[in-house]
């Protein structure tokens, strides 16, 4: 059998195993390998093969005819050293692909079929094209509520699960789409100060200007090993960390890597994604925040109610007690959009600063109150008052400072971007609407969240009176190119609609 020498190729292929073969390699012709074929890669120790999508190259500087190149991800997964000899074969198509074809045809799938699909995906037997076929099939054909349950169960079963060894483990999740809205960093210390267990594994931004992990990272280390998180939890009753270190519902990471570029936004997939991660993270009680508004993910009350019923159905059968809250998503929550600006808002609220954004403070207290009522010792309707007491007494701030210290305080916090531009009102009137999507876009263009100090600082909210020339918001950026992109976008559409005394202006 012809063998090839391994070569590591410094390419980030994001959640996809990719191998590189030179066109002049004898195996390319004798074995009929083609670009985008899947291959099995075997070492000499008899271990299970690694499966990868094949790319064909013509440049010997990338890979020589007697070599097989592996992207960074595949090389780490294979666990061998560069230069070792390997052999390759055509990969057998995953058996579960027949179920994908059935779903595309509009049929319902069984629990076993979803489990087999998730097993094959996590084992890298699916290419991104095949994962896309599965996601499109589920989005177009739709999922019955039992199918959402089966998919959720399969996503949990094919990853690791955490056990915090307590009967009451709380969490919260917002379905997203609202810039700012950094309630988690206020709710978590309130809950922990009360003594309830809240291990908060949070995400980094994918398409938003900041995720909770991006914002918390301004204050503390969020990339922590599991044993460290256990230690913090024992002493502090909570942490706010990035959830990427634990392999929780890993199939979901594959799904996200494909659905985001395709702009697929399936409600069924979203429910399975959220609940599988929470169950795998060891949660027993979960608060779901569904904001509704014209530029939010959910635009109507009827859609929100439908989602609530589905969350409750699947959660109940997964042993998860769920409380769904429908909130106002007509505009960004808080003033800051971007990590440094959001940290400012959070700390102002925890410090009971009179300048703190009232909407973010009130929403955080409402959510914290609902979570506190998971505690059987807290009477229904008393949670909000208790949350206010914990915040106003300074106990929430003390707890947040303790969590920051336990996770490893960032002694050199990021600063606001040095470049700034203030967008002003084109005419006088009342702010009638703020476009969440456009404000998020401007903040992303400014460099958030990669540049922690980039983003948008809002000066006016819906209902505020403005005069021509009044500042609506300020854009902050660190890099000239990002600054110009954000400024140009705000010039074309500043995201505000102002109702003047004479006419309605879109302010674009």
Catalytic residues: 265
Token pair, residue 99, equals 């179920």
Nearest 5°: phi and psi at 338? 130, 150
Q: How far apart are CA 483 and CA 47, in angstroms?
A: 51
Contacts of 483 by beta carbon, 8 Å cutoff, 6+ apart: 417, 419, 421, 446, 447, 475, 477
Closest by Cα among 171, 176, 121, 192 to 151: 121
Strands 4-9 and 67-71: parallel
Token pair, residue 118, equals 């998730």
Angle in degrees, 0-180, between the axes of helices 267-280 and 250-262, rounded to the nearest 10: 150
H helices of 356-435, in order, are: 358-372, 383-392, 395-407
Distances (CA, A) of 185 to 91, 195, 315, 403, 504: 46, 16, 24, 11, 37
Q: Which residue has the tokens 């993910």?
A: 297
Q: Dihedral through CA 462, CA 465, CA 468, CA 474, nearest 10?
A: -50
Nearest 5°: phi and psi at 407? -80, -20
Q: How far apart are CA 52 and CA 6, in angstroms?
A: 14
Q: Which residue has the tokens 């922590």?
A: 224
H helices of 285-338, in order, are: 301-317
**Within a 10 A sphere around the Cβ of 65, how many other Cβ atoms?**
14
* Coil vs helix vs strand at 166: coil
Closest by Cα among 102, 4, 101, 98 to 44: 4
End-to-end alpha carbon distance in the chain: 66
- Residue pair 33/39 in contact (Cβ under 8 Å)? The answer is yes
Token pair, residue 314, equals 């699947």
- Residue pair 416/480 in contact (Cβ under 8 Å)? The answer is no
Distances (CA, A) of 375 to 31, 195, 232, 264, 323: 64, 10, 21, 37, 13
């Amino acid at each position: 059998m012809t063998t090839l020498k391994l070569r590591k190729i410094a390419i980030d292929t994001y959640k996809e195993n990719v191998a590189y073969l030179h066109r002049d390699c004898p195996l390319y012709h004798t074995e009929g390998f083609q670009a985008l074929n899947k291959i099995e890669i075997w070492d000499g120790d008899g271990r299970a093969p690694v499966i990868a999508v094949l790319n064909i190259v013509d440049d010997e500087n990338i890979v020589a005819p007697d070599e097989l190149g592996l992207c960074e991800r595949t090389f780490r997964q294979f666990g061998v050293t560069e230069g070792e000899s390997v052999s390759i074969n055509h990969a057998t198509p995953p058996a579960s692909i027949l179920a994908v074809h059935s779903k595309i045809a509009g049929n319902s799938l069984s629990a076993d079929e979803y489990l087999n699909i998730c097993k094959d995906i996590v084992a890298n037997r699916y290419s991104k094209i095949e994962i896309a076929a599965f996601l499109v099939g589920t989005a177009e054909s739709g999922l019955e509520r039992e199918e959402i349950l089966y998919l959720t169960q399969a996503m949990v079963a094919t990853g690791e699960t955490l056990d915090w060894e307590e009967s009451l483990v709380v969490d919260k999740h917002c379905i997203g789409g609202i810039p700012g809205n950094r309630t988690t960093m206020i709710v978590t210390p309130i809950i922990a100060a009360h003594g309830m267990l809240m291990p908060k594994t949070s995400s980094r931004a994918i398409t938003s200007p900041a995720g909770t992990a991006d914002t918390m990272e301004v204050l503390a280390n969020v990339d922590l090993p599991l044993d460290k998180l256990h230690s913090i939890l024992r002493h502090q009753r909570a942490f706010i960390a990035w959830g990427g270190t634990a392999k929780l519902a890993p199939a979901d990471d594959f799904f996200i890597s494909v659905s985001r570029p395709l702009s697929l936004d399936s409600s069924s997939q979203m429910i399975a994604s959220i609940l599988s991660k929470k169950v795998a993270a060891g949660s027993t009680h979960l608060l779901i925040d569904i904001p509704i508004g014209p530029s939010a993910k959910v635009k109507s009350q009827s859609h929100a109610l439908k989602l609530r019923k589905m969350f409750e159905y699947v959660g109940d059968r997964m042993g998860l007690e769920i409380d769904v809250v429908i909130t106002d998503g007509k505009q960004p929550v808080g003033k800051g959009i971007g990590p440094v600006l959001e940290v400012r808002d959070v700390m102002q609220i925890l410090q009971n600063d009179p300048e703190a954004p009232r909407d973010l403070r009130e929403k955080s207290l409402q959510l914290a109150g609902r979570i506190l009522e998971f505690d059987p010792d807290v009477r229904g309707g008393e949670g909000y008052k208790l949350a206010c007491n914990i915040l106003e007494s300074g106990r929430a701030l003390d707890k947040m400072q303790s969590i920051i210290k336990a996770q490893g305080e960032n002694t050199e916090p990021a600063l606001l971007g040095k470049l700034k531009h203030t967008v002003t009102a084109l005419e006088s009137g009342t702010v009638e609407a703020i476009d969440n999507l456009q404000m998020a876009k401007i903040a992303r263009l400014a460099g958030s969240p990669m540049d922690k100090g980039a983003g948008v600082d809002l000066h006016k909210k819906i209902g505020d009176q403005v005069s021509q020339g009044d500042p609506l918001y300020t854009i902050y950026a660190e890099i000239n190119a990002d600054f110009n992109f954000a400024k140009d976008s705000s010039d074309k559409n500043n995201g505000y609609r102002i109702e003047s005394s004479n006419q309605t202006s879109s302010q674009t």
